[in-house]
Chain A
Amino acid sequence: AQSVTQLGSHVSVSEGALVLLRCNYSSSVPPYLFWYVQYPNQGLQLLLKYTTGATLVKGINGFEAEFKKSETSFHLTKPSAHMSDAAEYFCAVSPPNDYKLSFGAGTTVTVRA
């Protein structure tokens, strides 16, 4: 079975500051890992994903995440926060041969001017 833990339900950053959202997973097999973003009153939009290969993955809107197998982590970062980054962010995991995503509880990001 897979599970995802997102540390911190709320993160507040200043505009221009580093955004760091933490995600740890547990999985019996090397998983596929995802970050989704949800803007108010909208659906889930994929930011980036890791399946195989390079462990540092780049996504949309300047976000990137690094898969660290030894730490079972897939933390999301963005060097410089923008007001438009205010949203809820979800880390998700699925086994390679499975069909469903298991989501973390989400982290709400607010950006201060």
Chain B
Amino acid sequence: EPEVTQTPSHQVTQMGQEVILRCVPISNHLYFYWYRQILGQKVEFLVSFYNNEISEKSEIFDDQFSVERPDGSNFTLKIRSTKLEDSAMYFCASRLRPVYEQYFGPGTRLTVT
């Protein structure tokens, strides 16, 4: 069964460093998402992406964040200058069309020290 994959599974970085989290969505899917879950808190929407542009973004998704689909298969989330409060599990998701369910990857745990 096709699945969403994410790399790395765990990333440790120092405050102020740039990180790139990578996702490979299911191959024929058209809509892509990033969510995050701070330890002990709700899963929160960050951004949605369709047709090579951002469809919607949350208040969390400020200028420090960016997304890209560089090669038609990968979908990346970049955090330009990480803060301690960016420590969280980041989930990538994809879906074929809006009426269909979102498929989630296993997540990348980001630890900012």
Contact = CB atoms under 8 A, between A and B. Distances in A.
B43 A103 contact: yes
Interface of A: 32, 34, 36, 41-46, 49, 51, 90, 92, 96-106
Indicate the size class of the contact surface on chain B: 20 to 34
Q: At the interface, is chain B mostly helix, strand, loop or mixed?
A: strand
B91 A101 contact: no
A99 B55 contact: yes
Nearest to A105: B42
A106 B45 CA distance: 15
A92 B107 CA distance: 18
A42 to B, nearest CB: 6
Interface in B46-98: 48, 50, 55-56, 58, 91, 93, 98
A49 B93 CA distance: 16
Given A43-B107, A103-B43, A106-B42, A97 B98 contact: yes
Given A43-B104, A43-B107, A44-B104, A99 B33 contact: yes
